Structure 1
Amino acid sequence: MTESDAYPPIEAYGVVGNLETCALVGPDGSIDWFPFPHLESPSILAAILDAERGGRFRIRPTDSFETDRWYVGKTNVLENGYDEDVGAFVQSYGSDALDATGLLLPVVGFLPFDDERVRGTIEAIESALVDDDVFVLRYDGEDGLPGDEGAFVLCSCWLVDALALSGRVDEARSRFESLLSYLNPLGLVAEELDPETGTHLGNYPQAFSHIGIVNSALYLGYARGRETPGPAPMGIRLGEPISPPE
């Protein structure tokens, strides 16, 4: 066996998992890496690191066979993460719960902003997670944790970003200005806001809240046709935003 036979390129492996752990399966059916019982647990098989002593478990037909992988590129998420009944990308496979991180799918370039599934996700999140146009909860559904939490400022910024870069610029600006009204006289804001009282909750001041506000200002400027100083933020570099008017 040559070294190249013993160690297939990493891209040749398939990933099989159950949302708690996963295994790397080679093209010959060899399970060469398998942390158990959780993804962060030590691997009980490690042939991917040492072909002779690392350990593997192989399942394959006795006759000649060809191998292929089911998922390519983004198709795993597209097939399992999008719920036709909800009309949106959901929090986890098999769930119908919504999560504000769905607003980031077009920002990181996963799908363009004008994709109907992206538009549906934004609208579903607006309907289920948004209160008074500006307060955005992280997710819905049970999480097993006691008590309630406030609306996350960063999630409010993600909504502004998604609206601005999908062509809903006036709505994005209105919500952004509403969000800014909750900053204190020093321009600082906490991690969360109470949707009923506007009280600052959680860590204060919170750095990622302020980063979100800066990004939203840059995205709004872009969406209104203004030049962005310095490097363009991620949603412009990686995403496919609706072009601003000339």
Structure 2
Amino acid sequence: MRSGGARRKTVATAALGLLLVTLTACGGGPPRSGTAPGDRAAGDGGGAGPARESADPTRVPGIGDRFQKLIPAASRQVVAVYGDGPDSADSTVVLYTKEGTAWHRVRDWAAHNGRKGWATEHREDDKRSPVGVFTLSDAGGVLPDPSPGGLPYTRSESFAAPRWWAKPYWHDFDYVIAVDYNRVKGTPPNDPTRPQGAAKGGSIWLHMDHGSGTSACVSLSRAGMEYLLRTLDPGKRPVVVMGDRAELAA
């Protein structure tokens, strides 16, 4: 049985300034070459390397001591984002769930991160995704919530990408899940408040993919986003662990 409180179902009206500030982190631009993300069930041969195997089932695969210790003891769902390299925009998203003391791989998707790769000290507009362990507490988007009872969800047209962006980007924010990096938990993903200051960037989301790197977010297929929205349970304290493979394993 899922836990969770009342759902946010109101459609907010946002000022243009709020919209522009929020969308900066994952802003549009000329489409770049890239592959469409796939949707793979665990055990079908998708993924590679440390993301697929672990000698110790009590540990999330491919995650070294430094980040393993940052996963809250109460967390029973981990979305791991394994970047191909520190300067690569390509990555793999894997959902793990914890049963007893063991982590189990549930599903994985090809994905994209910041077009310039990753940053251990993310700064506004550096085109890199922040490395770290962050909670996942709020979701939203243009489309209706695909799974009432999951993460609190704010549906709003204010999430829509501007139509002056390239067409492949128009549906990026049909579904989004806020990464709790420099934001206030319990607010809609497009709330622009940045407690650590604007220079550290913000509005880091999981959102729908357009086939290439982002400005700082992580993007995956619509099917992947719908699966996460249906599966992530506030009662299981979901977190995202994200970074390039070498950094995560260190």
**When you count helix as a share of all residues, which structure comes out higher?**
1
- Please state which band the TM-score falls in when normalised by the shorter chain: under 0.3
Larger Rg: 1
**When you count strand as a share of all residues, which structure comes out higher?**
2
Give the TM-score of the pair, scaled to structure 1: 0.23
Higher relative contact order (CA 8 A, sep 6+): 2
